[in-house]
Structures are given as C-alpha cells and as structure tokens.
Amino acid sequence: MSSILDFAPRIPIAEKTKDFVDWMTDAFSGIFGYLKKDGKEALNGLSDAMEAIPPVVVIILVALLAFFITGKKFGLATFSVFGLWLIYNQGFWSQLIDTFTLVLVSSLLSVVIGIPLGILMAKSKVAEAIITPVLDFMQTMPAFVYLIPAVAFFGIGMVPGVFASLIFATPPTVRMTNLGIRQVSTELVEAADAFGSTPGQKLFKVELPMAKSTMMAGVNQTIMLALSMVVTASMIGAPGLGSEVLSALQRAQVGPGFAAGLGIVILAIIVDRLAQNVNKSKKKAS
C-alpha cells in the first residue's frame, strides 16, 4: 500500500555505513593492526604489573589514599578496606584488576582528548557548532552500536573495549570543560587582558584554574560512564568483572552474577567518592 511518505526511494544508510567501515578497515589496517598488537601488549602489561602487587598492599594503599583525600575521615577508608577484601574473598581480584585497567586507560584517553576539544569549543563558535552535534550523537547512540566498529577495527579483546568506552565516555569531559571556561568571570578575563597576558597565559593562569571544579565534575562523569561500559565491553571479549556478569547471565546463574556485579558497584563507589573528594579538596584550596 503506497503512502505519501513513499515519495522518495529508500536511502541506503546501512549499505553506505558498511562501505565506510570497510574502507576505514582497509585504508587504516596498518594503524589498527599496530594499535591492536601494541595496545594489547601494553594493557596486558599494565594489568600484570598491578596484579603482581600483593592484594593486601593495594587495599592498604587505597585505604590510605581515601583517608587523606577525605580529610582524615575513616568512612571511605573503612568501606574501601571491606569492599576490596570482599572482592578478593569472592575470588574476583584478577578480574577487578582487568576492569580497573580498562576503566583507567579509557578514562585517561577520554580526558586527554576531551579537555583540548572542550577548550577549542570554548574559544571558537565554529568549533562548538561542529563538535556539539557530534557529542549529541555520541551520547544518544546506544552503547551496543559502538561495539560494531570496535570489533571491525580491532577484533576482540580489551583494546576494542577501550575504544568503545572511549567513545561513550568522552562527551562529559568535553562539555564540562567548555562550560567551565565559558563561565569564567568576564571581569577576570578583562583584567588578564589589561595586564597584557597572552592567550596562553590567560588560558593556563586564569581560565583553566577557575574552571577546574567544573572540569573535574566532567572527569568524574567520564569515569562513571567508562565503568558503566565494562559489562557491554565484555560482549566483545574485554576481560574483567563484566565478563563474569555476562557469563552468569548467559548461564542464568543468579548468585555468581550478583557477586560479580557487586564487585563493579564497590569499585564504582570507591572511584566516585575519591574523584568527588579530590574535587572538593581543590575547591577548598582555591
């Protein structure tokens, strides 16, 4: 049955997308192969190095970090000790390290890429007009869709997991960096101009320090989004607690799935509270 909506032929979005991904895979196969091989070795090396540290040492270090960052309060430190011990007690310590490696690397890459893009958006209306729709696309596209190009480019494993997490987790850092710089008082910017500051001096000595709190909020959101991707990334072979949850789901094993999921929750709470308290301490210092 024809409709008024059938005035034009079908647009081949799926076919063109496939052609573009195929072209990217062929054109940059050398780069993707290099990143896959060396990235896998680097990630595995980082995981092995952290796993070589005795768990009791890691737990003590995290507890001390939480104690001093929170202003010598015992709440988060106590939770960190009990929570990390519980993960170790359930036999998920190795998976915890793999998960932390994935989150750490993807978050660091997101921040390294996101902050310069946020600065560019704050300084250029043209850049903001171009980057904003891209960020909207990245944030609204279902996370599962990112797995398709990740597998096409890098195969399976932790490297495509980091790639998918990077795409999903970068927008908050970009947006909050842009927002923080734009919210800097115009009086301060004008005062810097009056004293003859160069654009670089104005950025690094006035705008970024004043925007630090807002930027840290974006970094915190980025870390949380990277953590939320661990189960999704496990679908393309990323190891860690997410793979344990996925395995339990596939086998309908409620107990092991809950235990592994609890480990993700504990890690998320510790990382979130640490990031929040770092931001608070910087606010007080400023």
| pTM of structure | 0.86
Q: In this structure, what is the dihedral angle of CA atoms 260, 244, 227, 86, given to the nearest 10 degrees?
A: 30
The pLDDT tens digits of the residues spanning 128-182 come to 999 999 999 888 888 788 888 888 888 888 888 898 899 889 999 999 999 999 9
Distance, CA of 230 to CA of 96 (rounded, Å): 11
Supply the pLDDT for residue 94: 93
Contact by Cβ (8 Å): 177, 122: yes
Lowest mean pLDDT among 47-61, 89-103, 107-121, 225-239: 225-239
Work out the average pLDDT over 64-70. 91
Residue 283 has pLDDT above 60, yes or no: no
Domains and CATH numbers, the chain: 12-52+90-285 (1.10.3720.10)
Count each helix (H run) and each strand (E run) in the chain, helices first.
Answer: 14, 0
Give the 3-state secondary structure of residue 209.
helix
Task: Give the H or E element holding residue 9.
Answer: none
Q: Are 131 and 119 in contact (CB under 8 A)?
A: no
